[in-house]
Amino acid sequence: MQLKKLIIIYAVICTSIMVHAEVFTLWPRGKSSGHDLDTFLKSTPLITEPVLINGSKTALKLSLVKMSIHEIISLLKKKFPTAKLASSGDSILVKQTLPNGWHKRLLLVYFGDFFPLLQISMTLPPKLPKPSNWPQTLAISSDGIPLRYMYFPNRKTWYGMFETSMEPSQGLAEVSNSLRAQGWSGVTGESSPNTRGRGEIFLKKKPLAIMLINFSESGITTVLARKMR
């Protein structure tokens, strides 16, 4: 699987966990419908990846679904009548609470009329532990407050989110200076003082690695790092 596609998948699932958290609080309490989110759409399994989220072990499953997004929404409403679905037109987000208190999150991503939908699912504990330590592999600002990190051991890939009070350009400039001292080089030029950008792609030759970082006006920063060898 190409790195660009992996970045999209990791970013979407991580962002959905954080950004759409308020959507999940709208789910009314009640009994589960008894259906399994992993299988009720008769998806075709692709891969299952182990993943650590704030140190907690789980797995990310990728599958393909040969249904239209409208059919899926209709089916979800029938199979999970007590659920409120989060839909943005090109993706659907849904949650199922399991009897043991854990919950399963399902994300369906639409890439075009001639492609099957990508189904991404994870089973998470009732409450994830707070990150006690920020991974040294990931960049962070001097005032950064760790929110969440994910590690995919099979692909040597890290993904994290932290909060900062810095303006995007200020935060990027600080992180860029620190990374350059460690042998990283900016690719797009967004981190140069004259550009005042908010995101950059960094490369490191020894060992070969890539890092993507993006600051936002909301104060939430995302960063992804992967060893290429």
Task: Provide the pLDDT for residue 128.
Answer: 77
Q: Mind listing the pLDDT tens digit of every residue in the chain (229 residues)?
A: 344 444 555 554 544 433 333 332 223 333 444 456 677 788 888 888 898 888 888 888 888 988 887 788 788 777 777 666 777 667 788 877 777 878 888 888 878 777 888 888 888 888 877 887 899 999 999 999 999 898 989 888 999 999 999 999 999 999 999 999 999 999 888 877 777 788 899 999 988 999 999 999 999 999 999 988 7
Task: Provide the pLDDT for residue 160.
Answer: 92
Distance of CA 115 to the CA centre of its chain: 22
163-198 in b/e form (b: 16+ CB < 10 A) is ebebebbebbbbbbeebeeeebebeeebbeeeeebb
Long-range contacts of 125-128 (CB under 8 A, 24+ apart): 125/56, 125/58, 125/101, 126/101, 126/102, 128/53, 128/54, 128/56
CB–CB of 35/42 below 8 Å?
Answer: no
- Rg of the chain over all Cα atoms, to the nearest angstrom: 19
- Against a cut of 0.85, is the pTM above it? no
Task: Provide the pLDDT for residue 111.
Answer: 80
Q: How far apart are CA 204 and CA 36, in angstroms?
A: 43
Domain residues of the chain, as ranges? 3-124, 145-227
Task: Provide the pLDDT for residue 182.
Answer: 93
